[in-house]
């Protein structure tokens, strides 16, 4: 399918969803076996993805309906920040890079810029200086999660780097850099696979052990975590220029690309037994594609692995465009990408629509069509 036609069809679904959710203050999250999005009251980590899709759609075609919905979703996230509601986690970058920072990017709104900066301040409250990490989940000192970092957090760091560039205050980016370095040291393994999470002793700061939250087992490679690493380290390379981050993103991308099944869409965990019916995670493939496109945007034409990286990202998008995954033309389905998984082991939406899968699929299409990179940094 041609990319532009895929974008048009994806945006038809987005517009239909705008009508469906109009009159509510709710956001699509994941489906639960019925092809319909389960809606949240902006209490989860995912609401920014819906806002981000609306901004991408508006930027693409100038559709005022999408603009109105994007502003509304962004306002709701601003209200959440004002109320300091459901922000006791690290996913503040996902929420506000794709809403307030996106609005600043697209509309040049000074108010949105201030909201994004306040969001960066909220994320800084998760910084644990004695451990050198942003704590992912739970309150400070929490016995289970107090000393825990997770690979997904790499995607929350760009908001901090943006905040440093906007304010001149180096502290945001400095903490982000330390966290990225720690992620490289403790989450990426020697064979280029990754831990989903890592624990540190909260008293001494000693490194304790790798573990998982959504993967098959503690030492396995959760596919989406690997994809967060590909994209997150590419963004870290953009922000810090440290070639170790470039190398990490590339190594992790190669590991990912070499472990795909025949149809090119990742299973949910690279170490889960693969048999008929093993769930996929199409969202991981979409994140992977965007991460590699980001990496390519930073590499010179003469870079040796450039062609193979580009092939792997294009092939991921091609695989997702196949009938089995992309819902193009299926008017009764609310999502764009079938066969994502939230938490297979936890039994939560193991084969469903994921709003972040839809966001990254649309971002990948926009990157291919017009070279726009989403809202992770200034353009
Ligand atoms: N960041 C949470 C997830 O990927 O499920």
3 state DSSP class of 361:
helix
* 309 Cα: distance to centroid of ligand 1 (angstroms): 24
- Residues 158 and 235 sit within 8 Å (Cβ to Cβ): yes
pLDDT of residue 261: 94
* 156 Cα: distance to centroid of ligand 1 (angstroms): 12
**pLDDT, tens digit, 9 for 90 and up, residues 198-248:** 999 999 999 999 999 999 999 999 999 999 999 999 999 999 999 999 999
- Residues 14 and 54 sit within 8 Å (Cβ to Cβ): yes
Q: Which atom of ligand 1 is nearest to the CA of 94?
A: 1
Domain boundaries, the chain: 3-370
**pLDDT, tens digit, 9 for 90 and up, residues 331-375:** 999 999 999 999 999 999 999 999 999 999 999 999 999 999 999
Is pLDDT at 1 greater than 90 in this prediction?
Answer: no
89 Cβ below 6 A of ligand 1: no
pLDDT of residue 185: 98
The residues annotated as belonging to the active site are 91, 152
Q: Which atom of ligand 1 is nearest to the CA of 356?
A: 4
152 Cβ below 6 A of ligand 1: yes
Ligand 1 atom 1 nearest Cα: 152
59 Cβ below 6 A of ligand 1: no
Residue of 90, 91, 221, 224 best suited for mutating to test ligand 1, as the one with most atoms within 8 Å of CB = 224
* 302 Cα: distance to centroid of ligand 1 (angstroms): 34
* 304 Cα: distance to centroid of ligand 1 (angstroms): 32
d(Cα 93, Cα 104) in Å, to the nearest integer? Answer: 15
196 Cβ below 6 A of ligand 1: no
* 90 Cα: distance to centroid of ligand 1 (angstroms): 11
pTM above 0.85, yes or no: yes
Q: Which atom of ligand 1 is nearest to the CA of 228?
A: 4
Residue from 153, 300, 131, 116 nearest 233 by CA: 153
Q: Which atom of ligand 1 is nearest to the CA of 225?
A: 4
Ligand 1 atom 2 nearest Cα: 152
281 Cβ below 6 A of ligand 1: no
**pLDDT, tens digit, 9 for 90 and up, residues 54-85:** 999 999 999 999 999 999 999 999 999 999 99
**pLDDT, tens digit, 9 for 90 and up, residues 26-37:** 999 999 999 999
pLDDT of residue 343: 98
- Residues 318 and 303 sit within 8 Å (Cβ to Cβ): no
294 Cβ below 6 A of ligand 1: no
* 160 Cα: distance to centroid of ligand 1 (angstroms): 19
**pLDDT, tens digit, 9 for 90 and up, residues 72-130:** 999 999 999 999 999 999 999 999 999 999 999 999 999 999 999 999 999 999 999 99
Under CATH, what is the fold of the domain 3-370? Glycosyltransferase (1.50.10)
pLDDT of residue 36: 96
Q: Among the residues of the chain, which ranges form H helices? A: 3-21, 47-61, 64-82, 92-97, 100-107, 110-124, 157-167, 170-187, 223-240, 243-257, 282-298, 306-320, 355-370
Q: Which two tokens stand for residue 356?
A: 């972040």
Tell me how far apart the terminal alpha carbons of the chain are, to the nearest angstrom: 28
């Amino acid at each position: 399918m041609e990319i532009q036609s895929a974008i048009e069809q994806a945006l038809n679904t987005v517009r239909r969803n705008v009508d469906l959710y109009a009159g509510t203050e709710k956001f699509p999250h994941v489906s639960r076996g019925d092809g319909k999005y389960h809606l949240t009251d902006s209490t989860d980590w995912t609401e920014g993805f819906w806002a981000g899709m609306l901004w991408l759609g508006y930027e693409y075609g100038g559709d005022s309906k999408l603009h109105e919905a994007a502003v509304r979703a962004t306002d709701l996230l601003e209200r959440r920040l004002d109320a300091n509601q459901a922000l006791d986690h690290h996913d503040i970058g996902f929420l506000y890079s794709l809403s307030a920072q996106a609005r600043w990017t697209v509309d040049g709104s000074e108010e949105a810029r201030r909201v994004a900066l306040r969001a960066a301040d909220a994320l800084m409250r998760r910084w644990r200086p004695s451990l050198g990490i942003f704590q992912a989940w739970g309150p400070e000192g929490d016995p289970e999660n107090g000393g825990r970092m997770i690979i997904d957090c790499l995607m929350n760091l760009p908001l901090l780097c943006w905040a440093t560039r906007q304010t001149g205050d180096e502290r945001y980016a400095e903490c982000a850099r330390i966290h990225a370095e720690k992620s490289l040291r403790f989450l990426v393994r020697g064979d280029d696979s990754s831990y989903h999470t890592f624990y540190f002793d909260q008293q001494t700061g000693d490194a304790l052990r790798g573990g998982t939250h959504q993967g098959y087992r503690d030492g396995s490679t959760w596919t989406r975590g690997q994809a967060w690493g590909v994209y997150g380290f590419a963004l870290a390379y953009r922000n810090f220029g440290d070639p170790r981050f470039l190398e990490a993103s590339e190594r992790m991308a190669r590991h990912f690309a070499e472990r795909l099944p025949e149809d090119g869409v990742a299973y949910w965990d690279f170490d889960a037994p693969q048999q008929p019916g093993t769930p996929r995670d199409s969202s991981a493939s979409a994140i992977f594609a965007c991460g590699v496109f980001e990496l390519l945007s930073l590499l010179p034409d003469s870079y040796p692995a450039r062609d193979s990286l580009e092939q792997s990202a294009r092939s991921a998008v091609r695989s997702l465009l196949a009938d089995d995954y992309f819902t193009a033309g299926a008017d009764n389905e609310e999502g764009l990408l079938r066969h994502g998984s939230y938490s297979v082991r936890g039994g939560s939406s193991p084969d469903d629509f994921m709003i972040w899968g839809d966001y990254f699929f649309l971002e990948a299409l926009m990157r291919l069509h017009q070279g726009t990179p989403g809202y992770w940094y200034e353009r």
